[in-house]
């Protein structure tokens, strides 16, 4: 736009005094439109009046709410008076354009009178229609036909774009975008072009578009550039949906993990967790590349993204978790400390599944014979995995294979223990066969495995851990569930500890079974087994029990409601309020006392069920603080499993793309794949993608309706 020098110097000034000094009708059309876009001045005026009515003294003062009631009203903070904005621009009653209204006692009567004025109505119409197509032109028949023809072309173009978008969604969902020869005559076209060709066989309009030489010269929709721009538009549409959900959510938790791609470049993934309609959801937000591998760089990326999401609501962020990454989760200089400085309520939550790994590692590393057992155990699958023939033969004999144990994930060691315990006899017999092998090395290795399987100490620990490991599997799978919350985690831990205590009490029986009537197990393995159980239970208590969010979750353990009705959990309440200061302690205490005495709420099996009961009963306002606490608990992430799923998707995408995609394209493909369910729930998704695609840059084909 071009403005004259006088207007250009004052274009930002929309105060009443300036509007009174200019002749608005002499400005150019662009300058008038700019004034309309700037809008009316609505300052908070310092107008106060007092008087006497029916022997009572009253006092009135100006309330900015009057601007919302009258969309034409504006104010001047210099003269401390109210004016009519359309009449200031186009001319009108001097009371509303020159003097101003300050009488609050009769303000409503003056407003009604002015709204009935014909000149005011004309000024309102002129301002409303300013910048719009001339009414006469709209009525004109020829113009109507032209608009109709244009809109019909737009409809056809958007229909084609929608079908191309569906193809992009399809290959994005299954990570099928690959680079081959894209020429029409190619016998090895890329999957995207192959899918389009298949779609053309079933859709004549799409086929006509792709075969139309004149249209194809302007927009064909099959190029790599168009694919990338559509991916960008789809990614933008998904992020807008997530922003909308985050704005509507009461609380937010952020989950992060870092990894390196094939080129050694650091990748940071961000996943958001919040509550939607009473249920927790986890949304992939994107992949990012910090400038280096320091906690400061990662924190900078996180803070930048959080500002775009909850810039004006820092109290909304209540949890952060980093999957145990040292650079991110350091207490003093890690990313969690930097985030905590900006967001006071963002408590650091360690991944529960990783906590379980640490507990078992601690429990099994303190006893020499246990360490020897797991070292010996790992040699069995290692021996068989080195030969596909041995693996196949063992599978034929035992109908199973032996999984390799993992150095970090104890659920994989659990699978090895369970498999060897179940297949012990079959492994022993097969090793007998291998012992007579022509290969001396194979025969010696098979003999060593036989000695290991027949060792009393190995037998004892195999029997013992075959009883412990299934319960570890159950707990691990519960912690890896997407629906895990603090209350469920607390219940699972209590059940796990009770089971370990029972196994501890029965450890003498394990010794008898493992040793047999004619075998002697050296040393007191029963005492060692009890020690392992004790360490597991002690570590569980230390790592899980003294966490504020777990203490808060105990307030909502339905099984404890009868007990809490007699003895209120004051200590847990204090810890909850200390961790989450947004909770009003006095009201929450009263609500919980009522909740504990009502059998109606005891039928819920989880926090989501309890929240659903409260919502269905329309008790949200009555139990407002309880609802806050429930939403905090279901928003708090118990695991970072979703983050690991994101990196799994990243690896698949990079395999298909052979590491040629730029970061934005990777994020877009991952978003389509990971959040495909959310995409199906977005109403008019293709239309929103088309709107963003059409407005993101200048297009040579019509996509916007008139």
User: Do 25 and 127 have their domain in common?
Assistant: yes
Name the band, by pLDDT with cuts 50, 70 and 90, for residue 351.
low
Residue, of 185 and 256, whose pLDDT is higher: 256
Is 353:479 a contact under the CB 8 Å cutoff?
yes
Answering whether pTM is above 0.85, one says: no
User: Do 400 and 520 have their domain in common?
Assistant: yes
Contacts of 588 (CB under 8 A, 6+ apart): 573, 576, 577, 625, 626, 629
Distance CA 274, CA 260 (A): 27
Average pLDDT of the residues in 59-64 = 87
Contacts of 374 (CB under 8 A, 6+ apart): 364, 405, 413
- Bridge partners (DSSP) listed for residue 82: 75, 101
Q: Calculate the average pLDDT of the chain.
A: 78
Residue, of 264 and 613, whose pLDDT is higher: 613
Residues of the domain holding 380: 355-545
Distance CA 24, CA 22 (A): 6
Nearest to 583 by CA among 280, 345, 348: 345
**Among 510, 525, 545, residue at a domain's last position:** 545
Q: What is the pLDDT of residue 590?
A: 93
Task: Average the pLDDT over each of 56-70, 126-140, 303-317 and give the range with the smallest value.
Answer: 126-140
Condensed to tens digits (0 to 9), the pLDDT of residues 26-61 reads 888 888 888 888 889 999 888 888 877 777 887 888
Number of domains making up the chain? 5
Name the band, by pLDDT with cuts 50, 70 and 90, for residue 239.
very high
Backbone angles phi, psi at 130, to 5 degrees: -60, 125
User: Do 415 and 498 have their domain in common?
Assistant: yes
Average pLDDT of the residues in 606-618 = 86
The helix/strand/coil state of 49 is strand
**Among 492, 515, 545, residue at a domain's last position:** 545
Q: What is the pLDDT of residue 591?
A: 92
Is 171:163 a contact under the CB 8 Å cutoff?
no
Q: Look-up: residue for tokens 């909304």? A: 316
Residue, of 75 and 57, whose pLDDT is higher: 75
**Among 108, 132, 156, residue at a domain's last position:** 132
Highest-pLDDT range among 361-375, 527-541, 565-579 = 565-579
User: Do 58 and 113 have their domain in common?
Assistant: yes
Q: Look-up: residue for tokens 């199906």? A: 680
Distance CA 555, CA 577 (A): 11
User: Do 442 and 532 have their domain in common?
Assistant: yes
Nearest to 274 by CA among 247, 299, 300: 247
Label each residue of 160-186 as H, E or C. HHHHHHHHHHHHHHCCCCCCCCCCCCC
User: Do 404 and 533 have their domain in common?
Assistant: yes
Here the contacts of 57-65 (C-beta below 8 Å, separation 24 or greater) are: 60/104, 60/105, 61/104, 62/104
Distance CA 178, CA 174 (A): 11
Which secondary structure element, helix H or strand E, spans residue 73, and what is its range?
strand 73-76
Nearest to 230 by CA among 682, 671, 704: 671
User: Do 215 and 205 have their domain in common?
Assistant: yes
Is 378:407 a contact under the CB 8 Å cutoff?
no
Q: Does the structure show a pLDDT above 50 at 79?
A: yes
Q: Look-up: residue for tokens 């399809």? A: 170
- CA atoms within 13 A of residue 498's CA, in its CB half-sphere: 6
- β-pairing verdict for 347-348 and 317-321: parallel
Q: What CATH code is carried by the domain that includes residue 299?
A: 3.30.420.40
Q: Look-up: residue for tokens 């992430």? A: 637
Nearest to 273 by CA among 652, 676, 634: 634
Average pLDDT of the residues in 423-434 = 83
Name the band, by pLDDT with cuts 50, 70 and 90, for residue 344.
confident
Highest-pLDDT range among 12-26, 408-422, 445-459 = 445-459
Label each residue of 542-597 as H, E or C. HHHHCCHHHHHHHHHCHHHHHHHHHCCCHHHHHHHHHHCCCCCHHHHHHHHHHHHC
Residue, of 706 and 183, whose pLDDT is higher: 706
Question: In what order do the strands lie in the sheet containing 347-348?
Answer: 279-288, 266-276, 252-260, 317-321, 347-348
Q: Look-up: residue for tokens 């994101």? A: 646
Q: What is the pLDDT of residue 521?
A: 46
Is 423:402 a contact under the CB 8 Å cutoff?
yes
Name the band, by pLDDT with cuts 50, 70 and 90, for residue 6.
very low
Residue, of 593 and 539, whose pLDDT is higher: 593
User: Do 200 and 266 have their domain in common?
Assistant: no
Q: Does the structure show a pLDDT above 50 at 9?
A: no
CA dist list (Å): 427 to 5, 399, 420: 93, 11, 8
User: Do 430 and 574 have their domain in common?
Assistant: no
CA dist list (Å): 391 to 415, 419, 430: 16, 13, 11
Q: Does the structure show a pLDDT above 80 at 85?
A: yes
Label each residue of 622-672 as H, E or C. CCHHHHHHHHHHHHCCCCCHHHHHHHHHHHHHHHHHCCCCCHHHHHHHHHH
Condensed to tens digits (0 to 9), the pLDDT of residues 137-165 reads 555 666 677 778 888 888 888 888 888 88
User: Do 84 and 222 have their domain in common?
Assistant: no
Average pLDDT of the residues in 556-581 = 87
Contacts of 32 (CB under 8 A, 6+ apart): 24, 130, 131
Residue, of 531 and 605, whose pLDDT is higher: 531
Q: Per this entry, what is the length of the chain? A: 706
Is 262:659 a contact under the CB 8 Å cutoff?
yes
Condensed to tens digits (0 to 9), the pLDDT of residues 653-668 reads 455 444 445 555 778 8
Distance CA 530, CA 511 (A): 11
Average pLDDT of the residues in 347-356 = 67
Distance CA 691, CA 380 (A): 60
Residue-wise DSSP of 97-148 = III-B--STTHHHHHHHHHT-HHHHHHHHHHHHTTSPPHHHHH-HHHHHHHH
User: Do 414 and 480 have their domain in common?
Assistant: yes
Distance CA 86, CA 516 (A): 100
Is 453:427 a contact under the CB 8 Å cutoff?
yes
Percent with pLDDT over 90 in the chain: 13
Q: What is the pLDDT of residue 114?
A: 93
Task: Average the pLDDT over each of 399-403, 508-512, 553-557, 577-581 and give the range with the smallest value.
Answer: 508-512
Q: Given 3-state DSSP classes, what are the helix, strand and coil percentages for the chain, each rounded to the nearest 5?
A: 65, 10, 25
Task: Average the pLDDT over each of 16-25, 188-197, 558-567, 598-607 and give the range with the smallest value.
Answer: 188-197
CA dist list (Å): 115 to 75, 84, 224, 454, 593: 17, 10, 57, 100, 56
Task: Give, rounded to a whole angstrom, the gap between the first and last alpha carbons of the chain.
Answer: 22
Is 632:580 a contact under the CB 8 Å cutoff?
yes
User: Do 574 and 537 have their domain in common?
Assistant: no
């Amino acid at each position: 736009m071009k403005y004259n020098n006088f207007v250009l110097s004052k274009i930002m000034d929309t105060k009443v005094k300036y509007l009174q000094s200019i002749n608005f009708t002499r400005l150019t059309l662009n300058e008038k439109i700019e004034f309309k876009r700037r809008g009316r001045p609505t300052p908070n005026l310092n107008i106060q009046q007092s008087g006497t009515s029916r022997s009572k003294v009253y006092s009135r003062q100006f309330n900015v709410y009057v601007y919302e009631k009258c969309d034409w009203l504006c104010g001047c903070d210099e003269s401390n008076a109210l004016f009519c904005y359309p009449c200031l621009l186009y001319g009108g009653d001097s009371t509303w354009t020159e003097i101003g209204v300050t009488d609050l006692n009769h303000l409503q009567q003056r407003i009604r009178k002015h709204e009935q004025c014909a000149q005011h109505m004309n000024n309102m119409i002129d301002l409303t229609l300013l910048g719009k197509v001339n009414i006469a032109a709209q009525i004109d028949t020829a113009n109507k036909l032209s608009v109709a023809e244009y809109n019909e072309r737009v409809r056809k173009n958007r229909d084609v774009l929608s079908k191309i978008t569906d193809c992009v969604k399809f290959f994005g969902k299954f990570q099928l975008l690959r680079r081959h020869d894209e020429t029409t005559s190619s016998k090895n076209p890329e999957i995207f072009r192959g899918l389009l060709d298949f779609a053309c066989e079933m859709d004549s309009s799409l086929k006509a578009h792709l075969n139309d030489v004149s249209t194809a010269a302007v927009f064909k929709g099959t190029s790599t550039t168009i694919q990338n721009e559509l991916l960008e538009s789809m990614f933008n549409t998904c992020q807008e949906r997530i922003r909308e959900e985050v704005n509507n959510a009461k609380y937010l938790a952020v989950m992060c993990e870092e990894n390196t791609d094939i080129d050694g470049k650091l990748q940071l993934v961000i996943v958001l967790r919040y509550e939607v309609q009473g249920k927790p959801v986890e949304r992939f937000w994107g992949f990012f590349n910090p400038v280096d591998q320091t906690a400061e760089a990662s924190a900078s990326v996180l803070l930048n993204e959080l500002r775009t999401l909850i810039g004006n609501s820092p109290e909304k962020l209540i949890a952060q978790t980093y999957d145990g990454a040292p650079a991110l989760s350091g207490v003093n200089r890690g990313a969690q400390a930097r985030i905590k400085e900006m967001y006071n309520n963002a408590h650091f939550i360690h991944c529960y599944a990783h906590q379980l790994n640490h507990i078992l590692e601690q429990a099994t590393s303190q006893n020499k014979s246990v360490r020897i057992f797991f070292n010996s155990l790992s040699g069995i699958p290692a021996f068989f995995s080195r030969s596909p023939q041995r693996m196949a033969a063992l599978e034929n004999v035992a109908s199973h294979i032996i999984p390799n144990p993992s150095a970090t994930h104890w659920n994989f060691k659990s699978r090895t223990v369970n498999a060897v315990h179940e297949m012990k006899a079959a492994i022993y017999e097969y090793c007998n066969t291998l012992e007579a092998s022509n290969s001396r090395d194979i025969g010696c290795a098979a003999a060593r495995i036989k000695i290991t399987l027949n060792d009393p100490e190995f037998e004892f620990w195999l029997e013992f851990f075959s009883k412990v490991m299934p319960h570890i599997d159950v707990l691990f799978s519960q912690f890896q569930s997407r629906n895990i919350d603090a209350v469920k985690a607390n219940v699972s831990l209590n059940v796990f500890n009770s089971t370990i205590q029972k196994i501890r009490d029965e450890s003498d029986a394990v010794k008898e079974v493992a040793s047999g009537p004619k075998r002697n197990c050296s040393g007191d393995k029963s005492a060692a087994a009890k020690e392992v159980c004790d360490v597991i239970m002690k570590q569980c208590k230390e790592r899980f029990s003294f966490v504020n969010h777990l203490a808060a979750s105990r307030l909502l353990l339905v099984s404890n409601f009868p007990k809490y009705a007699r003895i209120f959990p004051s200590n847990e309440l204090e810890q909850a309020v200390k961790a989450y200061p947004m909770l009003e302690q006095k009201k929450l205490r009263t609500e919980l006392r009522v909740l504990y005495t009502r059998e109606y709420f005891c039928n819920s099996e989880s926090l989501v069920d309890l929240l659903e009961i409260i919502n269905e009963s329309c008790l949200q306002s009555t139990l407002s603080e309880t609802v806050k606490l429930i939403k905090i608990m279901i928003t708090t992430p118990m695991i970072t499993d979703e983050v690991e799923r994101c990196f799994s998707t990243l690896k698949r995408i990079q395999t298909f793309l052979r590491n040629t995609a730029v970061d934005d394209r990777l994020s877009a493909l991952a978003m389509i794949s990971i959040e495909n369910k959310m995409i199906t729930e977005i109403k008019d998704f293709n239309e929103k993608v088309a709107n963003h695609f059409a407005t993101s840059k200048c297009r040579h084909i019509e996509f916007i309706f008139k």
